[in-house]
Amino acid sequence: MVDLRSRLAVMALVAASAVTAGQAVKAEEISQRAPAGTDAGAIDIPAFAYPPSALASEELKRAYARSLSGPGNGTITPPKDPKLVAIMRSVVNGMFEKSLPFLRERYPVETAQETIAGVEVIRVRPKGGVSNRNSKRVLIEVHGGSFMVGWPSVALLDAIPVASLSGIEVISINYRLYPEAMHPAALEDLTAVYREVLKTHAPRNVGIFGGSAGGVITLQSIPWFKKQGVPLPAAIAPLSCAFQTATGDSAIWNFSGGFARPGTTLVAKGGYFGDNYDRRDIVPEVTPERLADYPPTLWLSGTRAPEMSGAAVGHASLLRRGIRSELYIIEGGWHQSYSTAPETPESQDAMRYIARWFDTHLGR
């Protein structure tokens, strides 16, 4: 399990001082004791227990404790054995399926499964159907799950609240996953569905969103659509993701919300993007030149999430290019806690904000 007494060589956990044996120690003195060979400005922080955020709700604190006690060590190593992946899919689906009755009660919706352009989808509509006010609008959701798990329970964790709160139909897509497929299969499936949607909806009335892996695909979709000559959607929401993941100050957090020692490989090479891609690098398809093409973009992360630094930098990079960009941060939140802890006030607030984002930025 996560070692909460790890020694860390990072700056994110201290501002101007650290505490050792109950006495305040100047940051400069600590940095002087940093191991030889470390980067200039590195801080050697003594071992200590780090409690949940004092600003988090009691519900979030309990959910955080469950996340830390869950299976695995908070890192991701894509297996190559299809049988093992099948087991993982079953376990993950069963784990998050337990939250769906709560979601359906809190966020009343109607769901229907069908196929669009050869891709399995679930249409999620607010209970009673879509109102005339939103009849020309639609959202496409791309689920999370490390590009290899997550259908359908993880998909519904996002789609149900957003559809209910926004009053807009959400089409959640079951894109091809690793190991059966590799990049750019998910983009191809998303594009196929999006093209069909554009036959009945104007691009200004369409939004795309997703969490974790689905958020990465959402980010990739903009330069991909441009390359394919497909009109861009009105707005996107890449949630719990970034152009670069597990790098910067937030690399001290693993995907369960626990501490990760400096140098820990949070996402191993291999899997959907192949053996040569490092998740700390900018995701494939995205280049600095393409950032000016992005529509209004809503980022979301948590203060204990490995993608937080990447989201902050991505947000700033869009702002520098004059793009409407907003960054929503959950205090005490970990990777994808906005959806995997739906009983918390923090998740409920985040879902309301996501719904309001699309209501604001989609046409009529």
Q: Are 172 and 143 in contact (CB under 8 A)?
A: yes
Compute the distance between CA of residue 201 and CA of residue 114 in angstroms, rounded to an integer. Answer: 18
Write down the pTM of the prediction.
Answer: 0.89
Residue 161 lies in a domain: yes
Same domain, 42 and 190: no
Kindly report the length of the chain: 364
Mean pLDDT in residue range 10-27: 36
Residue 69 lies in a domain: no
Compute the distance between CA of residue 258 and CA of residue 334 in angstroms, rounded to an integer. Answer: 9
Share of the chain above pLDDT 90, in %: 79
Same domain, 46 and 86: no
What average pLDDT does the structure give for the chain?
A: 90
Chain segment 269-307, per-residue pLDDT in tens: 899 999 988 878 889 999 999 999 999 999 999 999 999
Same domain, 17 and 163: no
Same domain, 27 and 152: no
Residue 35 lies in a domain: yes
Same domain, 30 and 96: no
Same domain, 152 and 289: yes
What phi and psi, each to the nearest 5 degrees, are found at residue 119? -110, 130
* Three-state secondary structure call for residue 239: strand
Same domain, 86 and 44: no
Q: Please, which pLDDT band fits residue 36 given cuts at 50, 70 and 90?
A: low
Give the residue numbers spanning the domain of 249: 82-361
Compute the distance between CA of residue 225 and CA of residue 208 in angstroms, rounded to an integer. Answer: 12
Same domain, 243 and 306: yes
Residue 68 lies in a domain: no
Chain segment 152-204, per-residue pLDDT in tens: 999 999 999 999 999 999 999 999 999 999 999 999 999 999 999 999 999 99
Q: Are 323 and 294 in contact (CB under 8 A)?
A: yes
Residue 71 lies in a domain: no
Type of residue numbered 52:
P
| Per-residue pLDDT, 21 | 35
Chain segment 129-158, per-residue pLDDT in tens: 999 999 999 999 999 999 999 999 999 999
Dihedral over alpha carbons 236, 239, 242, 247 (to 10 degrees): 170
- CATH number of the domain where residue 283 is located: 3.40.50.1820
Instruction: Indicate whether 120 pLDDT > 90.
Output: yes
Q: Please, which pLDDT band fits residue 14 given cuts at 50, 70 and 90?
A: very low
Same domain, 25 and 94: no
Compute the distance between CA of residue 238 and CA of residue 292 in angstroms, rounded to an integer. Answer: 16
H helices of 74-140, where?
Answer: 82-97, 100-106
Cis? peptide before 184, omega within 30° of 0? yes
Bridge partners (DSSP) listed for residue 139: 170, 207
Chain segment 337-363, per-residue pLDDT in tens: 999 999 999 999 999 999 999 999 999
Number of domains making up the chain: 2
Q: Are 92 and 150 in contact (CB under 8 A)?
A: yes
Q: Are 258 and 319 in contact (CB under 8 A)?
A: no
